[in-house]
């Protein structure tokens, strides 16, 4: 069998395989969260999210918005040196992120079994 014929059979099989894989995964909400940072952020985003009184007070100051909180919970970095600490029958996570205005913020979120609570929003000091 010539190389061209073998290559054609290979391409036909590859295309059919890609079609079936796309068919199987198209209807599912699949995520590949292999790294600890992605797993923690996904866990916090999928639970009902609540705000503490201190966080609401900071949000009322208008320098940070709930969109900034959502962006930080999507693209932020979990500081594992300060995180995963028992706190009020849950675990405290410290997440670093940025606002839309490029101001660095730190979120302290308590992860309970059934919900996540934003405890505190801290404006990170600018280093010189």
Burial, 104: exposed, middle or buried (Cβ in 10 Å; 0-12, 13-18, 19+)? Answer: middle
- Across the range 59-65, mean pLDDT stands at 88
- Say yes or no: 64 and 40 in one domain: yes
pLDDT of residue 1: 79
96 assigned to some structural domain: yes
pLDDT higher than 90, residue 9: yes
82 assigned to some structural domain: yes
Q: At what angle do helices 66-75 and 36-46 cross, to 10 degrees?
A: 140
- Say yes or no: 81 and 43 in one domain: yes
pLDDT of residue 57: 92
Burial, 108: exposed, middle or buried (Cβ in 10 Å; 0-12, 13-18, 19+)? Answer: buried
Domain that holds residue 67: 32-123
- Say yes or no: 53 and 91 in one domain: yes
- The more confidently predicted of residues 100 and 127 is 100
pLDDT higher than 70, residue 126: no
| Strand ranges (E), the chain | 49-51, 77-78, 85-87, 90-98, 104-111, 116-123
- Say yes or no: 63 and 90 in one domain: yes
Which pLDDT tens digit goes with each residue over 70-89? 999 999 999 989 888 888 88
pLDDT higher than 80, residue 125: no
Q: Given pLDDT bands bounded at 50, 70 and 90, which one contains residue 31? A: low
128 assigned to some structural domain: no
pLDDT higher than 70, residue 5: yes
β-sheet bridge partners, residue 123: 105
Q: Which of 29-33, 89-93, 113-117, 118-122 has the lowest mean pLDDT?
A: 29-33
Q: Given pLDDT bands bounded at 50, 70 and 90, which one contains residue 28? A: low
Q: What is the CATH number of the domain that holds 62?
A: 3.30.2310
Number of domains in the chain: 2
């Amino acid at each position: 069998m010539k190389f061209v014929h073998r290559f054609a059979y290979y391409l036909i099989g590859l295309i059919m395989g890609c079609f079936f894989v796309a068919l199987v995964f198209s209807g599912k909400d699949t995520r590949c969260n292999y790294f600890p940072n992605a797993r923690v952020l996904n866990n916090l985003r999928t639970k009902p999210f609540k705000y503490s009184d201190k966080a609401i007070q900071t949000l009322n100051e208008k320098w940070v918005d709930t969109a900034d909180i959502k962006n930080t919970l999507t693209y932020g970095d979990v500081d594992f040196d300060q995180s995963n600490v028992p706190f009020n029958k849950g675990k405290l996570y410290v997440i670093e992120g940025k606002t839309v205005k490029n101001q660095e913020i730190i979120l302290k979120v308590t992860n309970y079994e059934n919900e996540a609570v934003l405890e505190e929003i801290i404006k990170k000091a600018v280093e010189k």
